Structure 1
Amino acid sequence: MRYNQLGQSSIKISEVSFGCMSLNGTTKENIDLIHKAIEHGINYFDTADLYDAGKNEKVVGEALKEKRQDVVLATKVGNELRADGSGWDWNPTKSYILKAIDKSLQRLGTDYIDFYQLHGGTIDDPIDETIEAFELLKEQGKIREYGISSIRPNVIQRYIEKSNIAGVMMQYSLLDRRPEEAVLDLLAKNDISVLVRGAYAKGLLLDKPAKEYLNWTAEEVRQVKEKLEGLCGNLQTIRKAVLHYPLQHKAVASVVSGIRTGEQLTASLEVLDGGEEVIDLIRQLKGDLQPNFYESHR
């Protein structure tokens, strides 16, 4: 397992990390799976207060309580659950963030969070006060670093200009190359790390049946899968190419993989070593496939 620096911080994170949102087993099964991931070198675990209305944080906290010093724990804030359970509302205000973190800390069973992220963001947010909240939490020692989870170039640009974010989580894959348009090079230039979600494009790049995805039609997705199969030859090599595609950019520190079973964990770990053959495949795929561009959500 290789480890990469998170932005300009002292935090090092595994290049494949554990997206905890996918956990759906019993508490014991989930804890055992997280412990297995740690044994194999994964040290970054990503959750959010929104996932399963906070229950996901509780499971993750229970799993990590004896291993807290050995892991990098990340969670997110900004989606305020309604008291009646009917859904949630976007709330990036300073007052809400300062209240929400204490609840996350309690659920996680820890007194600090390594990487605290705004779970979204729009250009109309009160960005200055959001940043004030995160900076205050750093001063208080409740968080070590902060960032945002966003695909919006204009929002990311604003945080680059105004804040000390260490990282940005964003969707990035062979079927979603929008970050290549305006974001990846900019973040690399400013020493801000990218944490990739959606590298497998909901499994469409692996073994899920082709269907419409972003600007791709179902037929176009099928053609991409055929190209992958033709170039790679087998599912194992496809997994390697798909995983390593985002890791080729110097801004990317980790691919956050949604893991819910031991088999999925093993599959992610088995393709860690890419090799020159996979890098050549990626170069060809990048040249053959059309890039996407931001048509909305800027």
Structure 2
Amino acid sequence: MNYNHLGTSALRVSEIGFGCMSLTLDQAYSSQLLRSAFEQGINFFDTADLYDQGQNEILVGAALRDVRSKVIIATKVGNQWRSDGSGWDWNPSKAHILQAVEHSLRRLGTDYIDLYQLHGGTIDDPIDETIEAFEMLQQQGKIRYYGISSIRPNVIRAYAERSNATSVMMQYSLLDRRPEETCLPLLEQKQISVLARGSLAQGLLLGKAPQAYLGHSAEQVAKAAEVLQQVAGHQRSAASATVRWVLQKPAVASAVIGIRSEAHLHEALAAGHAKALIHEELTTLRQTVPALRYEQHR
């Protein structure tokens, strides 16, 4: 497994990250998956206070407690559950963040969070207040670093210019090349790392029945899957090839893959060990799938 620095921080994250949202609440099975991932080189585990109303954090924290100093735990904040449990509301206020971190620390069973991320965001948020909350928590030692999870160029630009964010988690795949227009170049310039999610494009590149995706027609998706399979050849699986595509962008530090089963873990680890795509293969894939652009939140 290869490891990359997250931005300019002291964190070195495995280039395959474990997306914990997909875990079932079967504690024994999910704990075994988490431990197996750690033992095979994955050190980055991403959860959120929103997932399973905090139960996901509890599960992750318990499974990794005795190897806490050897793993990097990331969680997220900003979505506040309503008292009646009927749903959640967006709340990026300083008061909420300072309160929510205490709950996440308790659920994770730790006294610090390696990476605390804003779980969304709009350009109309009190951004400076949100940043102030993260900076305060960093000074207090409750979090080591902070970042955001967003696909909105205007929000990403605001945090890149006004904060000390270490990372941005965003959707990026062969079928979603929108970040290439402005986001990836900006973040590379600012030395802010990308944590890529959705690298497998909902399985549409891996044999799932083709359907329209973002601005691509079902026919275009089918063609992309066909060419990807050809590029993968006998040396890699299609899943490994599409993950390698994502990882070969300089700004990307880790591909965070949702893992729910042993099969998913095996596939993710295989991608981590797969041979890099060569220039000709990258060119072929670029020519097959056009890079679209974000139409909103520019």
TM-score, normalised to structure 1's length? 0.96
Is the counterpart of residue 27 in structure 1 residue 27 in structure 2? Answer: yes
Deviations 1:105-149 (A, max 9, x none): 111101100000000011000000000000000011100000000
- Aligned-partner residue type, residue 16 of structure 1: I
Correspondence for 1:222: 222
Query: What SS is found at the alignment partner of 1:202?
Result: helix
Partners of 2:113 and 2:142 within 8 A in 1: yes
Correspondence for 1:123: 123
Correspondence for 2:38: 38
Aligned length: 298
Deviations 1:207-230 (A, max 9, x none): 322122111222321222122233
How far apart, in 1, do the equivalents of 2:72 and 2:229 lie? 35
Partners of 1:116 and 1:145 within 8 A in 2: yes
Partners of 2:13 and 2:72 within 8 A in 1: yes
Deviations 1:48-92 (A, max 9, x none): 000011110110011011110010000000001111111111100
How far apart, in 2, do the equivalents of 1:275 and 1:56 lie? 33
Is the counterpart of residue 287 in structure 1 residue 287 in structure 2? Answer: yes
- Aligned-partner residue type, residue 205 of structure 2: L
User: What is the Cα deviation at residue 241 of structure 1?
Assistant: 1.6
Partners of 1:31 and 1:60 within 8 A in 2: yes
How far apart, in 2, do the equivalents of 1:233 and 1:42 lie? 26
How far apart, in 2, do the equivalents of 1:273 and 1:14 lie? 11
Counterparts in 2 of 1:297 and 1:195: CA distance versus 1, 3 Å: same
Partners of 2:235 and 2:275 within 8 A in 1: no
Q: Which moved more, 1:223-232 or 1:107-116?
A: 223-232
- Aligned-partner residue type, residue 182 of structure 1: T
Q: Which moved more, 1:269-278 or 1:176-185?
A: 269-278
How far apart, in 2, do the equivalents of 1:59 and 1:279 lie? 41
Partners of 2:16 and 2:254 within 8 A in 1: yes
Partners of 1:241 and 1:282 within 8 A in 2: no
Correspondence for 1:18: 18
Is the counterpart of residue 175 in structure 1 residue 202 in structure 2? Answer: no
**Share of identical aligned residues, percent?**
55
5+ long unaligned stretches in structure 2: none
Partners of 1:112 and 1:142 within 8 A in 2: yes
- Aligned-partner residue type, residue 195 of structure 1: L
Partners of 2:6 and 2:13 within 8 A in 1: yes
Counterparts in 2 of 1:143 and 1:276: CA distance versus 1, 3 Å: closer
For 1:251-270, what aligned pairs fall within 5 Å after superposition? 251-270=251-270
Query: What SS is found at the alignment partner of 1:272?
Result: helix
Partners of 1:21 and 1:258 within 8 A in 2: yes
User: What is the Cα deviation at residue 297 of structure 1?
Assistant: 3.5
User: What is the Cα deviation at residue 286 of structure 1?
Assistant: 1.1
Moved over 6 A (4+): none
Correspondence for 1:139: 139
Partners of 2:207 and 2:225 within 8 A in 1: no
User: What is the Cα deviation at residue 292 of structure 1?
Assistant: 1.1
How far apart, in 2, do the equivalents of 1:225 and 1:177 lie? 15
For 1:98-109, what aligned pairs fall within 5 Å after superposition? 98-109=98-109
How far apart, in 2, do the equivalents of 1:104 and 1:132 lie? 19
Correspondence for 2:110: 110
Correspondence for 1:72: 72
How far apart, in 1, do the equivalents of 2:182 and 2:174 lie? 16
- Aligned-partner residue type, residue 112 of structure 1: Y
User: What is the Cα deviation at residue 154 of structure 1?
Assistant: 0.9
Partners of 1:241 and 1:278 within 8 A in 2: no
5+ long unaligned stretches in structure 1: none
Q: Which moved more, 1:272-281 or 1:117-126?
A: 272-281
RMSD: 1.5
TM-score, normalised to structure 2's length? 0.96
User: What is the Cα deviation at residue 239 of structure 1?
Assistant: 1.9
Counterparts in 2 of 1:276 and 1:130: CA distance versus 1, 3 Å: closer
User: What is the Cα deviation at residue 277 of structure 1?
Assistant: 5.2
- Aligned-partner residue type, residue 204 of structure 2: L
Q: Which moved more, 1:183-192 or 1:203-212?
A: 203-212
Q: Which moved more, 1:10-19 or 1:261-270?
A: 261-270
How far apart, in 2, do the equivalents of 1:33 and 1:231 lie? 30
Q: Which moved more, 1:30-39 or 1:233-242?
A: 233-242
How far apart, in 1, do the equivalents of 2:180 and 2:141 lie? 34
